[in-house]
Amino acid sequence: MITVWFLMALMSYPDLNAIHYKGFGGFTSKEECEKVRILTENGIAEMEMQRGNTVYIETYCMEMHAFPTQFEAPRKKNNNIGLDA
């Protein structure tokens, strides 16, 4: 097993009673994840403001364990953050 850092964004909207979450890829170090964390949080906030939404956002880098074979799966198109397969 190897250690990866998974970037998780939690979002709360004033007109909804649920917390929405999205994952934004895996990283090989906490430092790499933390660097992308702020950029991702700012990008989400900008996108929501353009849509006219008010949103509260918190992002976290969470340590997880994975098997090396999990990184051999093909990557989704247009996903240019996270681990390279």
Q: Is the pTM of this model over 0.75?
A: no
Beta bridge partners of 8: 23, 60
Where are the extended beta strands (E) located within 1-85?
Answer: 2-12, 19-27, 56-66
- The mean pLDDT value for 67-73 works out to 68
User: What pLDDT, on the 0 to 100 scale, is given for residue 21?
Assistant: 86
Model confidence band, residue 34 (pLDDT cutoffs 50, 70, 90):
very high
Instruction: Give ∠ CA 39-40-46 in degrees, rounded to 5.
Output: 90
Average pLDDT for the chain: 82
Q: Which pLDDT score, from 0 to 100, does residue 15 have?
A: 80
Q: If you write DSSP's letter for every residue of 19-34 in order, what string do you get?
A: EEEEEEEEESSHHHHH
